[in-house]
Homo-oligomer: A and B are copies of this chain.
Amino acid sequence: MAMLVVKVGGGRGIDYDAVCADLAELHRLARPWLLVHGGSHETNVLSEALGHPPRFVTSASGYESRYTDRATLEIFEMAYCGKVNKGIVERLQRLDVPAIGLAGLDGRLLSGRRKSTVTIVEGGKKKVLRDDHTGKITTVNTELIRVLYDAGYALVVCPPAISDDHVAVNVDGDRAAARIAEAVKADDLVILSNVPGLLRDPDDDKTLIPHIAPDTLNAHFDYAQGRMKKKLMAAREALDGGVGRVVLGDARIAQPIQAALGGRGTVIGHPTDHRA
């Protein structure tokens, strides 16, 4: 059976216990999966506590991202690879899942180009920021995934990735999950966050868009704000890469993954690709 790739966000209010319980159940059902997780809320809390507050910038093309200087990268690693990753691995072990936590830089699991400068828009003006440690994944080490999967392990993956010139780089978690889903030929990609899916009105859960046909996806970018834009971009990249369907699901409910596989949330894909 093809692999399921699950991305769970790192925003405030994410219930990792429910996500892990659901993953453990899928493991018992012999459905193979790979989890990609975020850690933005923990990174923000840690950044504030260490006196190096987070700085979010909006690129010229309208995407929001975390400006990642070297100090921020190290804080990011502490939150993502330390607290969040090991916390998830511990929860899964407790549920009898043989989990292994890896950052994208481990074994060059996720590698690509570094973008050391970012052009941002601030107060209506364009501005170039240097010393950024961000990047874009071009290569997924599927051989490493295969080796560990064949040995019976379940992978829990997070940024940073490693650049082609060997620097740890912050990469977008949703797009990382999309690249992994493409590389392992996943049939489903489930992207969970602390919203119910794509909403026509972000303040009204009742305006959830339950289904998007791939050829109408681009027209839906107008509804997406902030982080949701990157989720749609990730969905588009995954579908373009051959993934059967992408579901934007709610991480805050019970059995969030199985609910998403059952169609709860925003399902992006062809109706014939619904293979839950």
Contact = CB atoms under 8 A, between A and B. Distances in A.
Interface of A: 46, 49-51, 74, 77-83, 85-87, 89-90, 93-94, 98-103, 105-108, 143-144, 147-148, 151, 153, 160, 162, 166-168
Given A78-B46, A86-B77, A99 B106 contact: yes
Nearest to A148: B147
17 contacts: A49-B50, A50-B50, A74-B83, A74-B87, A77-B83, A78-B78, A81-B86, A82-B83, A86-B160, A89-B106, A90-B167, A90-B168, A93-B162, A100-B107, A102-B106, A143-B151, A147-B147
Contacts of A102: 100-101, 106
Contacts of A98: 107-108
Given A90-B105, A106-B99, A85 B81 contact: yes
B103 A99 contact: no
A176 to B, nearest CB: 16
Contacts of A74: 82-83, 87
Contacts of A106: 89, 99-102
Number of copies of this kind of chain in the complex: 2
Residue of A83, A85, A102 with highest tally of chain B CB at under 10 A: A83
Residue of A82, A98, A99, A148 with highest tally of chain B CB at under 10 A: A82
A86 to B, nearest CB: 5
Contacts of A151: 143-144, 147
Contacts of A108: 93, 98
Contacts of A147: 147-148, 151
Contacts of A86: 77, 81, 103, 105, 160, 168
A194 to B, nearest CB: 21
A83 B71 CA distance: 11
Nearest to A50: B49
Nearest to A146: B151
